[in-house]
Amino acid sequence: MAKLTPGSHLTAPGGKQRKRTTKTVLTLKRAGILSTRNLSNTVKDDCSGMQFGHSYCVEVNNGIPRKGETTSTQAADPEPTKDSKPSPTQAGLIDTCTSFYQAKKGDTCAKIISDYKTIDFDDFYKWNPAVDKDCSGIWANTWYCVGVPGTPTSLATRTAESTTKPTGPTKPTATQEGIIESCTAFHQAAKGETCAKIVANYGTFDFDTFFKWNPAVGKDCSGVWANYYYCVGIPGTATVKPPATSPKPTATGGVETPSPIQEGIAKNCNKFHQVAKTTTCSSIESYYKLPLAQFLAWNLAVGKDCSGLWANYWVCISVEGYKPATTTTAKPTTTKPANGIETPSPIQDGMVKNCEKFHQIKSTTTCTSIENYYNLPLSTFLSWNPAVGKDCTALLTNYWVCVATVGWKPPTKTTTKPAATTTKSSNGISTPPPIQNGMVSNCNKFHMVTKTTTCDSIQNYYKISLDDFAKWNPAVGSKCTGLWANYNVCVGVIGGTPTKPSTGVKTPSPIQSGMVSNCKKFHPVASTTTCDSIQKYYKMTMAQLVKWNPAIGAKCTGLWAKYYVCVGV
């Protein structure tokens, strides 16, 4: 049988030769090399219709040579993905794209641009507008455009161009708003990095300077994002970290000051403590037998309410010449005010002068437990101990608080709280005491809060949303920090039934604010649910999920467990 290779021309012979040709064609068809579609409209499936002396094409391969073939012409370079657009892609992807990249989990714009090096963020965003200017829209397993006609395929030309530019270091693309324009040195944050770690690693600037250069990180440094670049130097900043062995001079000299420290630390400090995540002012006080007032005087940045105690920073716990109180002295000498009652120590600022009964705070003490034990209304307790704070966040361990004043009498035992008589609101429903300030007047259903009650448990049990619960009980707060034990809260109001959109589909509860009103399909979010898993399961896009549930945010940071989200309209 005559050998017929792909790419050759097939000439239809006559007579006996036609039979051989037919056999050859059929063999090619079985091998998948040839189909009658490749030949001509006149050639039938049984190869009838082939005409003697005519040539037929048996393959179209765009001129690319095969393995083992030689050719005198230079083979064309393969072109990047000229095939049909891959799937899935996001909306708005440029139509003229010739090269694509499939994003992996954890990819960022900065990483993709860094890998290709032939495009910048402006190009990438222009070709893929759905990623957003903050690059929050990168989805795993989705294709993105990384090349259009004319995009360089190598770094040669771009490198040459960059060397001719007289400007300083190029500003990376993945930065946050407000970064200082004159920055000359950048640091890419790794996962888990903190301001303290960055400041300590460089050692050429302090936190205040770092915050001034990168205001988006926030004063509490909660805005450090992995894979983003932060400014760590401007013209004039030292480029070399001071040697670890070089001590910072003190008043007496010779004592090394560790790093990082906060501003305002005592200059003559000779003993330091590194703050851990679990460290509190009270724990430092107890461990070192150090009065809080003294500790704060040596560490001004910590603040009177101890809100500036930063993890991984060093604080001063002793200075030259300081002698802590001996362990045999449990407390300094007590004072006798005009009422003749000795006041124990330590106490917080602002305690009433006529206190006659005190309670020492333990690590397990709460305002609620004091309230219950002494039958003492919270408002009265706070008026006697203003430093505790309205939300009771400054109840310091080992300090003494006032629980009775001269002449004060607790409410009689017949009532658990002051104003124990129930009231009837305009809706005719009796309101049980005690309640917190601001409860709605049209409440018709109440719940007594216990020590184990949480906002989450109330929502689940009564099938109400956190928004409604906070609206009916404003004193609780949107973050549920004001839920007080042994108080009644409102869990239902007149007319407060789940909504029914015009579609007739009942909206389950709880839901987050802003959900579309025409939703027909809902999904309960579990603790393991992610936006990615919802998209895959319901075959929907992130854009749709955010459009129907705006409260979850473009970065999916607001996806709350035990809430319902809309997955179909």
- All domains in the chain, ordered by first residue: 9-57 (no CATH), 99-160 (3.10.350.10), 269-319 (3.10.350.10), 423-493 (3.10.350.10), 499-569 (no CATH)
Burial 430-465 (b: 16+ CB within 10 A, else e): ebeebbbeebeebbbebbebeeebebeebbeeeebb
* DSSP-assigned states of every residue in 354-391: TEEEEEEPPTT--HHHHHHHHT--HHHHHHH-GGG-TT
- Give burial (CB, 10 Å; 0-12/13-18/19+) of 184: middle
Each as own residue / partner, the long-range contacts of residues 354-359 (CB below 8 Å, 24 or more positions apart, any chain) are 354/405, 354/406, 355/384, 355/402, 355/404, 355/405, 355/406, 356/404, 356/405, 356/406, 357/402, 357/403, 357/404, 357/405, 358/400, 358/401, 358/402, 358/403, 359/400, 359/401, 359/403
Q: How confident is the model at residue 330 (pLDDT cuts 50, 70, 90)?
A: very low
Is residue 564 over pLDDT 90? no
Q: Specify the amino acid at residue 56.
A: Y
Give the pLDDT of residue 545: 92
Which residues fall within 8 angstroms of residue 73, CB to CB, at 6 or more apart? Answer: none
What does pLDDT average to over the chain?
Answer: 75
Digit-coded pLDDT (tens) for 109-130: 878 887 887 888 888 889 989 8
- What does R_g of the chain's alpha carbons equal in angstroms? 37
> Which alpha helices (H) appear in 292-426, and where do they start and end?
292-298, 367-374, 378-384
Range with top average pLDDT, 32-36, 174-178, 501-505: 174-178
Is residue 18 over pLDDT 80? no
What phi and psi values does residue 443 have, to the nearest 5 degrees?
A: -70, 140
Q: How far apart are CA 564 and CA 561, in angstroms?
A: 8
Q: Please state whether beta strands 269-274 and 229-233 pair in parallel, antiparallel, or not at all (unpaired).
A: unpaired
Digit-coded pLDDT (tens) for 420-440: 444 555 556 788 888 888 898
Q: Which helix (H) or strand (E) holds 159?
A: helix 156-164
Digit-coded pLDDT (tens) for 41-64: 566 666 666 666 666 666 655 555
Q: Specify the amino acid at residue 363.
A: S
Is residue 569 over pLDDT 50? yes
Q: How confident is the model at residue 380 (pLDDT cuts 50, 70, 90)?
A: very high
Give the pLDDT of residue 177: 83
- Give burial (CB, 10 Å; 0-12/13-18/19+) of 19: exposed
Only one residue has tokens 């929502």, namely: 459
What phi and psi values does residue 439 have, to the nearest 5 degrees?
A: -60, 145
Give the pLDDT of residue 116: 81
Q: How far apart are CA 489 and CA 143, in angstroms?
A: 50
Give the pLDDT of residue 414: 46
> Which alpha helices (H) appear in 55-143, and where do they start and end?
109-116, 121-127
Give the pLDDT of residue 187: 92
Question: Whose CA is closest to 263, among 295, 301, 221, 293?
Answer: 301
Give the pLDDT of residue 252: 38
Percent pLDDT > 90 in the chain is 11
Q: How confident is the model at residue 240 (pLDDT cuts 50, 70, 90)?
A: low
DSSP letter, residue 84: S
Q: How confident is the model at residue 556 (pLDDT cuts 50, 70, 90)?
A: confident
Q: How confident is the model at residue 101 (pLDDT cuts 50, 70, 90)?
A: very high
